[in-house]
Amino acid sequence: MTVKPSRILHVMGLVAVILVTLFPFYWMLSSSFKTQTDLLASPPLWWFTPTFTNYLEVYNDGMLLGAVGNSLIVAIFATLVSVALGTPAAFALARYDFRGKSDLWFWFISNRMITPVALALPIYIIARSLGLLDSYLVLVLVYITFNLPIVVWICTDQFRSIPPDIEQAARLDGASQWTIFRRIYLPLGMPGVAVSAIFSFIFSWNELLYALVLINKTERKTAAVVATNYMSGYELPWGKIMATGSIIVLPVIIFAIIVSRHMVRGLTMGATK
């Protein structure tokens, strides 16, 4: 069997992309098991004696686990609400023509063009006047405003790719609009819904600016904010920083693996009755 050169180049390109993508995660994880001396060694040490000291010190600090719980609460609620509100809006934009549709579509997309720093002060003033500072609710509301355009954008394109003949057949069978959305568009559009959920969760999980500005209570700080506590002008404990980063990235990986199952399921589902 002869292997085409284009096939070999394609595989080599994929391997190169995978290595470049995974190397930062490998470096962070391996560095979390190094001592400060090994981390600062030049040239870098590829073979070393691993140690769990960094993880034990992070655990003994007693702040990260609570912060991870705070981030989970905020990210899960922000993602669920964003998907729950964004998918019906995407369905309407994909299948209906109404006055101001193009303006509404542009409004959704243009929200992602605004620099978050420009909105930090106005949002802080509004949150303070409403008494929402130092609460989960203020972060959930802020993250929803940034997640909704992502959900609407991705899901609208996904719903547009679904053949309208399926919807017409369902209407002939007497299906209501809600039934068509729930039983046809959501299952067939699950790949787009899953991707938008992943992006929403990652943004809510990693966001630092608003979590730093709007939350002052130590018991309400998120994991991204707590991770910055180890950085100071006199010392950079890279081992603890890398251990913290490894712990923070773990829930995102687990969430992506769980949602990826639904992506595969959505791609393999048929549209026959």
In a domain, 246, yes or no: yes
Q: Is 122 exposed, middle or buried (0-12, 13-18, 19+ CB in 10 A)?
A: exposed
Gap between the Cα atoms of 131 and 125, Å rounded: 10
Write the pLDDT tens digit of every residue in 162-176.
888 888 888 887 888
Write the pLDDT tens digit of every residue in 210-238.
999 999 888 888 988 888 877 766 777 88
Write the pLDDT tens digit of every residue in 68-77.
899 999 999 9
Is the confidence at residue 254, as pLDDT, over 90? no
In a domain, 33, yes or no: no
In a domain, 46, yes or no: no
Is the confidence at residue 145, as pLDDT, over 60? yes
Is the confidence at residue 141, as pLDDT, over 90? yes
In a domain, 136, yes or no: yes
In a domain, 84, yes or no: yes
Structural domain range at position 219:
62-268
Is the confidence at residue 194, as pLDDT, over 50? yes
Among 175, 177, 112, 99, CA closest to 147: 112
In a domain, 166, yes or no: yes
Gap between the Cα atoms of 106 and 268, Å rounded: 32
Q: What is the pTM of this model?
A: 0.80
Is the confidence at residue 1, as pLDDT, over 70? no
Q: For 40, which DSSP code? A: T
Mean predicted confidence (pLDDT) in 112-125:
86
Question: For the chain, what is the mean pLDDT?
Answer: 84
In a domain, 163, yes or no: yes
CATH number of residue 88's parent domain: 1.10.3720.10
Mean predicted confidence (pLDDT) in 200-208:
90
Residue 271: the pLDDT is 43
Write the pLDDT tens digit of every residue in 59-109.
888 788 888 899 999 999 999 999 999 999 999 888 888 888 888 888 877
Residue 269: the pLDDT is 46
Report the domain count for the chain.
1
Among 258, 90, 96, CA closest to 189: 90
In a domain, 184, yes or no: yes
Structure token pair of residue 7: 């096939």
Mean predicted confidence (pLDDT) in 266-272:
46
Gap between the Cα atoms of 138 and 133, Å rounded: 7
Is the confidence at residue 262, as pLDDT, over 70? no
